[in-house]
């Protein structure tokens, strides 16, 4: 177990290192932040002074080595625009993004697994066919268009739900959460629904496929022949057998939801990391971009590690097979 954790940590470090190299090179090719930071009327001396103050007058390789040396001490640099530590800016926006992503994932997993079970157990029912047709629509529609339609329909036309902002929050352990208030929950519904639509369709189809694969196996038939309650057959014998791929997808989709929530946060003016990332890209705020991507990569690593642990709990043979393969 210790060796496995060390290997995973080394892989994570290499991924973070490769990501920072790609970001540094990509932003250098995209443009010079000094062109955005200085006013158009600034002379050459002023441009040189600003470039030197941010260390942008150094060669790219030297800038990168200085960044790595500071990052090892927990300093990812200061934002060019906000003049604050980049990591602090990202961490400040993190709770809003996590709240939105968790709400979307709970909605997608709850409805997706439930509807997928129904569609898998009753494939010929009209409702099941309608559910599968709806899942195709959910996979096909672009998120930005769905978000705009939700705003136009439920905010502009009907006036039922607010279209922007996070609403009223309640501080718990020093962190503000909007789902704990009625106003905050109303602000959360539309962006969470928009973010959940694709995930819901994906989990639904995966669950349905898993149910169709195991429902006719001998151990399920034997459980039914023993007279077990349908709820026990579904919950213990069917659902548990298909949970490993579902847990994998839920873990990866949670990470992708956090990482790619930029469009939804921009449409609904949700003050999260994604919106901060979009604003930083517009002004080539490299420290904030790098800090955001480092946080996302570490989140992917942590969630994948948690998924591996859940595998061992759901199916102890996973750990036994891994140990045998390592020997």
Residues 6+ apart with CB under 8 A from 89: 79, 82, 276, 288, 291
Rounded to two decimals, what is the model's pTM? Answer: 0.74
pLDDT at 319: 53
Most confident of 18-27, 132-141, 211-220: 132-141
> What's the pLDDT score for residue 326?
42
Exposure class string for 224-250: b at 16+ Cβ within 10 A, else e: eeeeeeeeebbeebbbebbbbebbbbb
The pLDDT of 82-93, averaged and rounded, is 84
Q: What percent of the chain has pLDDT over 70?
A: 85
b/e sequence 106-129, b meaning 16+ C-beta within 10 Å = ebbbebbbebbbbbbbeeeeeebe
Q: DSSP class of residue 155?
A: I
Dihedral over alpha carbons 290, 291, 295, 300 (to 10 degrees) = 0
pLDDT average, residue stretch 141-153 = 87
CA distances from 20 to 16, 23, 289 (A): 6, 5, 10
pLDDT in tens, 203-260: 898 888 888 888 877 777 877 777 777 777 777 777 777 877 888 788 778 877 887 7
Q: Where are the domains of the chain?
A: 2-71, 89-326
Phi, psi of 275 (to 5 degrees): -65, -40
Residue 260's Cβ-count burial label (10 Å; 0-12, 13-18, 19+) is: middle
What is d(CA 292, CA 96) in angstroms, rounded to the nearest whole number?
14
Out of 1.10.3720.10, 3.40.50.300, 3.40.630.30, 1.10.645.10, which CATH number does the structure's domain 89-326 have? 1.10.3720.10
Query: What pLDDT does 197 receive?
Result: 87
């Amino acid at each position: 177990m210790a060796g496995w954790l060390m290997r995973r940590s080394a892989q994570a470090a290499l991924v973070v290192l490769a990501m920072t190299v790609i970001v540094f090179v990509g932003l250098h090719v995209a443009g010079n932040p000094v062109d955005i930071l200085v006013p158009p009327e600034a002379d050459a001396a002023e441009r040189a002074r600003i470039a030197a103050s941010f260390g942008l007058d150094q060669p790219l390789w030297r800038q990168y080595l200085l960044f790595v040396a500071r990052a090892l001490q927990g300093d990812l640099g200061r934002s060019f625009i906000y003049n604050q530590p980049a990591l602090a800016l990202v961490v400040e926006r993190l709770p809003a993004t996590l709240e939105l992503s968790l709400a979307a994932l709970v909605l997608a997993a709850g409805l997706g697994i439930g509807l997928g079970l129904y569609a898998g157990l009753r494939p010929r029912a009209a409702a099941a066919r309608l559910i599968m047709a709806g899942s195709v629509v959910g996979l096909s529609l672009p998120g930005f268009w769905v978000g705009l339609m939700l705003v136009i329909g439920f905010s502009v036309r009907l006036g039922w739900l607010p279209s922007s902002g996070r609403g009223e929050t309640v501080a718990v352990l020093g962190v503000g959460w909007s789902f704990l208030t009625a106003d905050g929950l109303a602000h959360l519904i539309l962006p969470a629904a928009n973010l959940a639509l694709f995930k819901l369709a994906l989990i639904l189809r995966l669950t349905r496929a898993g149910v169709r694969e195991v429902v006719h196996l001998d151990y399920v038939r034997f459980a039914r022949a023993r007279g077990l309650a349908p709820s026990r057959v579904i919950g213990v014998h069917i659902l548990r057998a298909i949970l490993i791929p579902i847990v994998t997808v839920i873990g990866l989709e949670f990470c992708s939801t956090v990482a790619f929530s930029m469009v939804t946060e921009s449409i609904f003016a949700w003050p999260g990391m994604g919106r901060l990332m979009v604003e930083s890209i517009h002004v080539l705020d490299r420290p904030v971009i790098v800090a955001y991507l480092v946080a996302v990569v570490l989140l992917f690593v942590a969630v994948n590690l948690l998924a591996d642990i859940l595998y061992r709990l759901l199916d102890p043979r996973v750990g036994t097979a891994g140990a045998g393969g390592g020997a």
